[in-house]
A and B are shown apart, each in its own frame.
Chain A
Amino acid sequence: MTGACPRWLRLLVVATAGTVLLAACAPTATTTTTSPKAGGKLTVASWQEQDSLLACNITSAASHACAYINPAMEGLLTVKANQDPLPTNPKLSDYWVPELSTEVPTLENGDVKVSGNKMDVTWKLRHGVKWHDGVPFTSKDVKATFDFWWLKYRDKNPTPLISTSGWDQVDSVDTPDDFTAIVHFKSVYAAYLTLGTGPYGVLPDHLLQQVWAKTGDITHDKVTVSIPGGYSGSDTLDKVMVGTGPFMFKEWVTGDHLTLVRNPHWWGGGGRPYLNEIRVKFDADANTELNELRTNTVDMALDLRPSLLPSLSRQSDVTTVTILDSATEHLDINLHNTFLKDVTLRKAILMAIDRQRIVDTLLLGRTVVPPDAWMCIQTGAWCLDPNARHTPYDVAAANKLLNDAGYKLQTSGPCKGFRTDPQGRCVQLHLITTTLPLREEQEVVIASDLAGIGIQIIKPFANVPASRMFGSCTSGGIIYSHNFDLAMYTNNYSYPAEPDSLAYTAYHSSQIPTDANGCVGQNTTFMSDPQLDQALDQARLSVKLSDRKDKYIVAQKRLADVIPEIPLYQAVDVEAYNKKLGGYKGNEFWWMNQSADWYISQ
């Protein structure tokens, strides 16, 4: 035998090797595993970095901060994911899910008791929960949380708390045992579910004790923390966090990333959380997030702009989610404006703007036009008026309304092509908004639609940055100083399912920001209606849901009659993730709620 190999054998070997090599190099077929798999890291991009780990409704109110701390910090309750099923006629409590408590306290289940004008709420707490540093969670933590917010220092709190509203209605907290906390309110407080719930709803007693032994300011006093597998060291609670959630704090490199690692002792069980690590990467803007999705540098991008929807739709390996918010992009109407104080003109404007066209063309049909009075939408839908008014787009009717009211279309003179009011003045309105591209596109549509009924929009592109738009009334902020005719922006619920968090501050006459009231409130339209005030007052003083709903229906009817705003469309959150991520559910509030269920499927 010689060493020579037959030619046919060599060809066969080469062909086989080539086939094997090609098979190895070819992209594997993508199969989506439906059963969750443990392990893996997930990188989430976001264009906003939290200033502080306390920025989720403690020292400021930043929704993005709530998102990143949410996997680590829990509250007594959390909110249901947007696509989770609701009963046919949902109650307020149906939007909430027990987290560190075992049930949602309501009047019906006896956990809420009203006696005269006082109220007690009993929180039944989950057993077997530990803080990330190994200290057991008990009712002491709930009591310490209420002490921290109000009972220990009242209005002399050394921590710069963003708002003590609601907490100041609490008289005392009893802890009959380790797993029961009874909160005694000095008055009936309908929004009691907003206290102690959501991310960072409960603070750890043992760390608060460290702070209280010093100055009592949690932004100033360092605490010593040791999280097995996570962070160890000493810093203020601005920079470190110890929670009970499925992920534990490991590190935060400012300007770059935040790392959370798996909590192997999480109370949720079932092998969850599945991921070993979540890394939140802080980007400069939403376009960078998009580039990172395109290059597979990140697995998920949070808080993208609706204007990026067309680009996202071209990414075949990315799933884009639009989540309807309890919020509305709308036009605020300055009711003290010479022209706009006439409800006929406001009604004509409402009828003349083709809002569905804005939804279909600028938002690719991913949202809806809300009812005229939109205070009970999405998580607030439990109080929606069943006969809520939806004014249709009708230019002919709008023109007739104006003609009948004495607004004359001019064919010559300085108002040529536009209307004059019954006093003969040209109807000119100034529309202002922030400098977002989508808003400027909306402005074009609105200016064009209103020109169709003879209303002239002046300075349509003299827009301002958000800081100028929403600046305080003392520093001349546009909307809080009422320095506008029509102002376009989005307003939203501060807390899930709680219309009081929006409606009272936006529509009650006591909430018109002025120097006299210390610039509080966000009633920017000068809405002042005794019937509406009464309904809003009564709704916040009742825990009986049917009573509250009745009051809110009265409020909605008044708002639909008065028309202090033109709702354009229901606001949407846009999020996108790589298709290898499984278990994702969209959340309007706090975005990363169900991170324990996330898994890498490939």
Chain B
Amino acid sequence: MTTYALRRILQAIPLLLVISLVLFAILQVLPEKPWDLLLRNPRMTAADRARLLAYYGFNQPFLVQYLTYMRNLLHFDLGFSYFSHQSTVSLIAERLPNTVLLMGTSYIFTLLVAIPIGIVAAVKQYSKLDNFLTTGAFIGISLPQFWFGLMLIILLSVLPYQHLGFRLFPTDGMWDSGHEGNLARLNLGDPLNLAWHLVLPGIVLAVQSIAQYSRFVRSSMLDVLSQDYIRTARAKGLSQLRVVVKHGFRNSLLPLITLMGLDVPQLFAGALITEQVFTWPGMGRLFWESAGKGDYQVLLGIMIILAILVVLGNLLADLAYGWADPRIQYR
């Protein structure tokens, strides 16, 4: 397995190089340039403009800019923000813990809820309960996150405050004033206040994921439950719970592992819309803000990390197949 993993990692290197070149080129040809905002000052003279273009390296040819970027990348330097002058690595380090907390919490909640729902729906196929869960799943999949987020804010925060004088949940942010922490510095602030702020964005993210995952689990379980070995297990007199969980669920894991592998980058990339609606200072908002300004080095840094995570997520999924199904061999 180690040889297999090493070979896959080595194979990923040229792939990542190609990805970096394509990403770099795409950002170069976009109509909005970083200097559009950066150099927008009516008092700027021609000399100021030339000085700044040289400072940020915008006056260099494309290839020189790319090679400089790649040389820095080999030293784990993802460049720096044209606007905040902070390194991309430090900007990501400030936002990543917030995103991992939000996405991780909602992901764990998703798995805890979606898997039992999927299993029950499969076992009780075409029953009233299955129809109810299926309908719920389609509603969950169809809910636009920005709309659902705004509705939760209005219904659970604004209206209760205006009519009852208290908020059931906060409108946005990670902490209330006076309870702040800083996850990047391992300071949780007031953990209960943080947990209270996690609820609404967590629900928005989880509802759609629960709907998707439960459908996957149901479908996968239905395939497995019709297999001969399940019938054999039942014929042997095993309990329904044992048949479903040990023989059924374990064998239905392969598609779920694929899905989880694909979702690994999402845990780090954050949720662009949800973070924006709830003003959650995570990776999604960093990406959105950087895109809005044309802060290309930060965008590029985030996208290259995500590309690496996609490769890693797939590798982890491949390795997990062997655990879930011992028939799978690595060569």
B171 touches A292 (CB 8 A): yes
Q: Complex formed: what's the CA distance from A49 to B172 in Å?
A: 15
A284 touches B277 (CB 8 A): yes
**Is A238 interfacial (CB 8 A cutoff)?**
yes
Q: Note all chain A residues with C-beta closer than 8 A to B157.
A: 291, 295
**Is A344 interfacial (CB 8 A cutoff)?**
no
**For residues 23 through 42 of chain B, which have their beta carbon under 8 Å from a beta carbon of chain A?**
31-33, 35-42
Q: Complex formed: what's the CA distance from A113 to B46 in Å?
A: 30
Q: Complex formed: what's the CA distance from A474 to B293 in Å?
A: 17
**Is B95 interfacial (CB 8 A cutoff)?**
yes
With A157-B51, A282-B279 in contact, do A505 and B42 touch (Cβ < 8 Å)? yes
**Is B48 interfacial (CB 8 A cutoff)?**
yes
**Is B76 interfacial (CB 8 A cutoff)?**
no
Q: Note all chain B residues with C-beta closer than 8 A to A303.
A: none
B180 touches A163 (CB 8 A): no
Q: Note all chain A residues with C-beta closer than 8 A to B170.
A: 295, 297
A501 touches B43 (CB 8 A): yes
A163 touches B48 (CB 8 A): yes
A253 touches B44 (CB 8 A): no
Q: Complex formed: what's the CA distance from A8 to B178 in Å?
A: 49
Proximity string of chain B (48-85) to chain A, C-beta cutoff 8 Å, 1 when within and 0 when not = 11111001100000000000000000000000010111
**Is A184 interfacial (CB 8 A cutoff)?**
no
B161 touches A472 (CB 8 A): no
Q: Complex formed: what's the CA distance from A501 to B286 in Å?
A: 33
With A502-B42, A518-B49 in contact, do A51 and B81 touch (Cβ < 8 Å)? yes
**Is A288 interfacial (CB 8 A cutoff)?**
yes
Proximity string of chain A (19-49) to chain B, C-beta cutoff 8 Å, 1 when within and 0 when not = 0000000000000000000000101000001
Residue of B nearest to A62 (CB): B83
**Is B130 interfacial (CB 8 A cutoff)?**
no
A155 touches B47 (CB 8 A): yes
**Is A435 interfacial (CB 8 A cutoff)?**
no
Other-chain residue from B32, B44, B153, B282 in contact with A475 (beta carbon distance below 8 A): B32
With A468-B31, A472-B35, A477-B36 in contact, do A41 and B177 touch (Cβ < 8 Å)? yes
A201-209, A254-262, A566-574: which lies at the interface = A254-262
Q: Note all chain A residues with C-beta closer than 8 A to B289.
A: 49
Residue of B nearest to A42 (CB): B177
B36 touches A471 (CB 8 A): yes
**Is B91 interfacial (CB 8 A cutoff)?**
yes
A219 nearest CB across to chain B (Å):
4
Indicate the member of B50, B281, B285 with the most A CB atoms within 10 Å: B281
Q: Note all chain B residues with C-beta closer than 8 A to A411.
A: none
Residue of B nearest to A500 (CB): B43
With A255-B285, A518-B46, A522-B42 in contact, do A160 and B32 touch (Cβ < 8 Å)? no
**Is B173 interfacial (CB 8 A cutoff)?**
yes
Q: Note all chain B residues with C-beta closer than 8 A to A254.
A: 84, 91, 94-95, 281
B45 touches A164 (CB 8 A): yes
A162 touches B158 (CB 8 A): no
**Is B167 interfacial (CB 8 A cutoff)?**
yes
**Is B86 interfacial (CB 8 A cutoff)?**
yes
Q: Note all chain B residues with C-beta closer than 8 A to A494.
A: 41-43
A332 nearest CB across to chain B (Å):
14
**For residues 155 through 195 of chain A, which have their beta carbon under 8 Å from a beta carbon of chain B?**
155-157, 160-166, 168
B85 touches A281 (CB 8 A): no
**Is B140 interfacial (CB 8 A cutoff)?**
no
**Is B98 interfacial (CB 8 A cutoff)?**
yes
Q: Note all chain B residues with C-beta closer than 8 A to A310.
A: none
B277 touches A163 (CB 8 A): no
**Is B182 interfacial (CB 8 A cutoff)?**
yes
Other-chain residue from B43, B98, B177 in contact with A163 (beta carbon distance below 8 A): B43
Residue of A nearest to B162 (CB): A294
With A155-B51, A220-B85, A475-B36 in contact, do A291 and B43 touch (Cβ < 8 Å)? no
A73 nearest CB across to chain B (Å):
17
**Is A443 interfacial (CB 8 A cutoff)?**
no
Proximity string of chain B (160-178) to chain A, C-beta cutoff 8 Å, 1 when within and 0 when not = 0110000100111111111
B42 touches A296 (CB 8 A): no
**Is B292 interfacial (CB 8 A cutoff)?**
yes
**Is B276 interfacial (CB 8 A cutoff)?**
yes
B85 touches A236 (CB 8 A): yes
Proximity string of chain A (248-289) to chain B, C-beta cutoff 8 Å, 1 when within and 0 when not = 000101111101000000000000000000010111110010
**Is A239 interfacial (CB 8 A cutoff)?**
yes
A283 touches B279 (CB 8 A): yes
B86 touches A239 (CB 8 A): yes
**Is B248 interfacial (CB 8 A cutoff)?**
no
Other-chain residue from A54, A296, A468 in contact with B32 (beta carbon distance below 8 A): A468
**Is A542 interfacial (CB 8 A cutoff)?**
no
B48 nearest CB across to chain A (Å):
5
Other-chain residue from B31, B91, B153 in contact with A291 (beta carbon distance below 8 A): B153
Q: Complex formed: what's the CA distance from A156 to B167 in Å?
A: 55
**Is B301 interfacial (CB 8 A cutoff)?**
no
**Is B202 interfacial (CB 8 A cutoff)?**
no
Other-chain residue from B31, B55, B154 in contact with A476 (beta carbon distance below 8 A): B31
A163 touches B161 (CB 8 A): no
Q: Complex formed: what's the CA distance from A155 to B301 in Å?
A: 31
A475 touches B277 (CB 8 A): no
**Is A232 interfacial (CB 8 A cutoff)?**
no
B43 touches A475 (CB 8 A): no
**Is A227 interfacial (CB 8 A cutoff)?**
no
B41 touches A162 (CB 8 A): yes
A279 touches B43 (CB 8 A): no
Q: Complex formed: what's the CA distance from A315 to B191 in Å?
A: 32
Q: Note all chain A residues with C-beta closer than 8 A to B293.
A: 51, 467
Q: Note all chain B residues with C-beta closer than 8 A to A161.
A: 48, 51
Residue of A nearest to B153 (CB): A291
A41 touches B42 (CB 8 A): no
B84 touches A238 (CB 8 A): yes
B84 touches A284 (CB 8 A): no
B171 touches A295 (CB 8 A): yes
Q: Note all chain B residues with C-beta closer than 8 A to A166.
A: 43
**Is B294 interfacial (CB 8 A cutoff)?**
yes
Other-chain residue from A41, A52, A468, A471 in contact with B84 (beta carbon distance below 8 A): A52
**Is A59 interfacial (CB 8 A cutoff)?**
yes
Other-chain residue from A162, A284, A477 in contact with B44 (beta carbon distance below 8 A): A162
A165 touches B43 (CB 8 A): yes
Q: Note all chain A residues with C-beta closer than 8 A to B42.
A: 494, 501-502, 505-506, 521-522
B70 nearest CB across to chain A (Å):
22
A312 nearest CB across to chain B (Å):
14
**Is A61 interfacial (CB 8 A cutoff)?**
yes
**Is A517 interfacial (CB 8 A cutoff)?**
yes
B174 touches A256 (CB 8 A): yes
Q: Complex formed: what's the CA distance from A474 to B38 in Å?
A: 13
A471 touches B177 (CB 8 A): no
Q: Complex formed: what's the CA distance from A147 to B10 in Å?
A: 53
Residue of A nearest to B40 (CB): A470
Residue of B nearest to A518 (CB): B46
Residue of B nearest to A471 (CB): B36
Q: Note all chain B residues with C-beta closer than 8 A to A49.
A: 289
B177 touches A279 (CB 8 A): yes
Q: Note all chain B residues with C-beta closer than 8 A to A41.
A: 177-178
Other-chain residue from A157, A164, A253, A292 in contact with B182 (beta carbon distance below 8 A): A253
**For residues 52 through 79 of chain A, which have their beta carbon under 8 Å from a beta carbon of chain B?**
52, 54-55, 59-61
Contacts A/B (CB < 8 Å), 13 sampled: A161-B51, A162-B52, A163-B43, A239-B86, A253-B182, A254-B94, A284-B277, A284-B285, A297-B167, A467-B294, A470-B40, A471-B32, A520-B45
Instruction: Give me 15 other A-B pairs in contact (C-beta within 8 A), A43-B177, A472-B33 excluded.
Output: A54-B85, A60-B41, A162-B43, A163-B41, A253-B180, A253-B182, A253-B281, A288-B279, A291-B157, A292-B172, A467-B32, A467-B36, A494-B42, A505-B43, A518-B49
Shortest Cβ-Cβ A-B pairs, 9 listed: A255-B281, A518-B46, A51-B83, A219-B85, A471-B36, A505-B42, A163-B43, A475-B33, A295-B161
Binding site for A on B (CB under 8 A): 31-33, 35-52, 55-56, 81, 83-86, 91, 94-95, 98, 153-154, 157-158, 161-162, 167, 170-178, 180, 182, 275-279, 281-282, 285-286, 289, 292-294
